[in-house]
A and B are shown apart, each in its own frame.
Chain A
Amino acid sequence: MSTAMASRYTAEYQSIASALPGQDLPWLQALRTEALAQFAEQGFPSPREEEWRYTNVSGIEKKLFAPSMDLTAGEINADWLEQYRMADAWVLVLVNGHFSAELSVLDGLPEAVSVMSMANALAVQPEIVEKYLGQAVDHAEHGFIAFNTAWFSDGLFVHVPGKLVLDRPIQLLHIVNKADAMATTRNIIVADDMAELKVVETFIGAEAYLTAAVTEVFVGQNADLTLYKMQSESEKAYHYGGSYIKQARDARFTHHNFAFGGLLARSDIHVDLDHASECELNGLYLGVKRQHIDNHTRINHLKPYAISRELYKGVLDDRARGVFQGRVIVAIDAQKTDSQMNNRNLLLSDDAEADTKPQLEIYADDVKCGHGVTVGQLDEKSIFYLQSRCVDEETARNMLTFAFANEMVDKIKIRTLHDMVLEQVLARFPQEGVNKEWL
């Protein structure tokens, strides 16, 4: 990144800094200043960095995205709300990086549960936010996190107290509809010991813009948290979304990552596992045209007896490029670790590309770790089998491709979300004529 570009962002920052939430909090101000200085020096990550070697974000630097200072939601496409706001969830809506009370649905929350905008949380309970902000991820990790830490304009704050089981999911609906806007949002999700909840992050938008979202997740002892992410950004958008999860002893965490949109989209999912905790990371990425979709996961087995399961699947057509980098790190005293990582890619065109890089770094000696990677085309034997059962070749190809992708959709346990994601898969599917009834 050019220093000229970084300094333009830095100059821009001074003009809006006073409007950012929590500027009356010295600790936050110090954190933002530190992060900004780091960003000014480093800029966005470059392919020279090992964890960014397949993803070049220099396209972002060609534009100067500006934060939206408009705190009203403005005109929001009613179809979007209809289509993407889950009817069975508490929904917090962010428009161009700012909380919209009028579009959000937060009635009837149990009193003990906090679901509020980050700006509000910083106003009413800053000492609780301080306990968590920046604790699951360090802004020194890379430029996007520094950028996010300096600039975040709002976000979602969730806190579920111990033993409370939330039966309704909480949805973050992240909408960007302003050209050249940057939506920089910071989210914190906390499940105290033995609490259970499901959170859904949905990213949608129109126009060319930049989303830079960071979500920090804290799963308490023996708590159970499922985080879904559906990234259906505009096809001209840039998306960075990082999820950083800290699991306490015996905690369970499941992530479902659906990466469908964006011109260039990158997700980081980093999980720290404590004693006997379990995580499951699932992902599906569909790339068409010239989309570049990168998913980067890191699982840190820090203590003994933890279990991790990971399955990422990609379908890439046209000139799309999919990247999967999965690191599993087993610390020296993480004995009896049980870890499985798989990445499967289906290439539908000669120009599509999949880069896949599983990495196991094992420092303990009594562990069970496995990984598998495939990049391939549809199986001709399967196509012939379907043809011999009266199905024409094109339909057979669609059927097999859809079935490949649908395995991941089928894992969704929330009916409304399942149907929403399925619609997205069908709408973004490389071919026409794909039929839900195949399942």
Chain B
Amino acid sequence: MLSIKDLTVNVNDKQILKGINLEIKPGEIHAIMGPNGSGKSTLSHVLSGKAGYTVTGGTATYQGKDLLEMAPEIRAREGVFLAFQYPVEIPGVSNVYLLKAALNSIRKHHGQPEVDAMDFLTLVKEKVRLLEMDEKFLYRAVNEGFSGGEKKRNEILQMAILEPKLCIMDETDSGLDIDALKIVAEGVNSLRSPERSFVMVTHYQRLLDYIKPDFVHVLAHGRIVKSGGPELALELEEKGYSWVEEAAA
């Protein structure tokens, strides 16, 4: 699905990622944990194509293609989805329109006809129920005036409708209370499939109580300093990050 080799990235001439290696196979869930400033968000931004990051070395191959060469919207149409840490408000553009436009551009990208309006609404309403959202949200401007939890749920709603192959979740659990976290986790878990992979970037172990990862990687100072199974997350929870940082130093 995704193969990252020796990836190095600069921001404003400062090296943030210092050689990342990561192999993600279809159906796997990888959690990337690390202290603040370790490069977690940089990794998710670089993979989704945000401007302002200079790749100075290494590769990221997604389904056999050079991911880093693609414009952000092409990555999205190819099935890479970034769930934002801070979803952006887009006043004046309705949620339902953006969902439909996004879905149709994915279909067009794959040579499929546009979605039927009725089928689309049925699909959307089903997913809205799954995430326990109010249907009214659909007709409001994207994220405008949404609470933090509602914004995060809206990200998962988009994910559920666009059915990406690789979901990159950037600090999805931050700002969520436990009830909202459960709903979000349930949404994510319902999307698990042998064809779909997840990269969950998170500071907190709590999310992993609800979405069980296959692998946990610890990022510190721009490198993956330790990889393991779900038990590594528990160890981090118990001991904090200082011991891995020390090990990395």
Cβ contacts under 8 Å, A437 to chain B: 97
A381 located at the interface, meaning its Cβ lies under 8 Å from any Cβ of chain B in the complex: yes
Q: Which of A61-79 contact B (CB under 8 A)?
A: none
Contact present for A385 and B84 (CB under 8 Å): yes
Query: If the complex has contacts A380-B51, A439-B94, are A390 and B87 also in contact, measured as CB distance less than 8 A?
Result: no
Binds A, one of B28-36, B72-80, B177-185, B192-200: B72-80
B residues contacting the other copy or chain, number (CB 8 A): 31
B229 located at the interface, meaning its Cβ lies under 8 Å from any Cβ of chain A in the complex: no
B105 located at the interface, meaning its Cβ lies under 8 Å from any Cβ of chain A in the complex: yes
Residue in contact with A389 in the complex, picked from B51, B94, B141, B158, CB distance below 8 Å? B158
Query: If the complex has contacts A380-B51, A391-B101, A391-B105, are A439 and B92 also in contact, measured as CB distance less than 8 A?
Result: yes
CB distance from B96 to the nearest CB of A (A): 10
Query: If the complex has contacts A437-B97, A438-B97, are A403 and B73 also in contact, measured as CB distance less than 8 A?
Result: no
24 of the cross-chain contacts (CB-CB < 8 Å) are: A379-B88, A384-B50, A385-B84, A385-B87, A385-B90, A387-B49, A387-B72, A388-B48, A388-B73, A388-B75, A389-B76, A389-B101, A390-B102, A390-B105, A390-B162, A392-B73, A392-B105, A393-B73, A403-B141, A406-B92, A407-B91, A437-B97, A438-B93, A438-B94
Cβ contacts under 8 Å, B82 to chain A: 388
Tell me what chain A mostly uses at the interface: helix, strand, loop, or mixed: helix
Contact present for A386 and B71 (CB under 8 Å): no
A399 to B76 Cα, complex, angstroms: 18
A400 to B81 Cα, complex, angstroms: 21
Contact present for B77 and A381 (CB under 8 Å): no
Give the nearest-CB partner of A403 in chain B.
Answer: B92
A349 located at the interface, meaning its Cβ lies under 8 Å from any Cβ of chain B in the complex: no
Cβ contacts under 8 Å, B7 to chain A: none
A382 located at the interface, meaning its Cβ lies under 8 Å from any Cβ of chain B in the complex: yes
B17 located at the interface, meaning its Cβ lies under 8 Å from any Cβ of chain A in the complex: no
Contact present for A388 and B76 (CB under 8 Å): yes
Given A391-B102, A407-B91, 12 more pairs with CB closer than 8 A: A382-B89, A382-B90, A388-B72, A389-B101, A390-B101, A390-B105, A400-B90, A403-B91, A404-B91, A404-B92, A406-B92, A438-B101
A402 located at the interface, meaning its Cβ lies under 8 Å from any Cβ of chain B in the complex: yes
How many A-B contacts at CB < 8 Å in the complex?
Answer: 82
Contact present for B88 and A382 (CB under 8 Å): yes
Contact present for B73 and A390 (CB under 8 Å): yes
A384, A400, A403, A407 — which one has the most chain B CB atoms within 10 A of its CB?
A384
A344 to B234 Cα, complex, angstroms: 50
CB distance from A434 to the nearest CB of B (A): 12
Cβ contacts under 8 Å, B106 to chain A: 390
Contact present for B49 and A403 (CB under 8 Å): no
Give the nearest-CB partner of B52 in chain A.
Answer: A380
Contact present for B97 and A386 (CB under 8 Å): no
A399 to B88 Cα, complex, angstroms: 14
B98 located at the interface, meaning its Cβ lies under 8 Å from any Cβ of chain A in the complex: yes
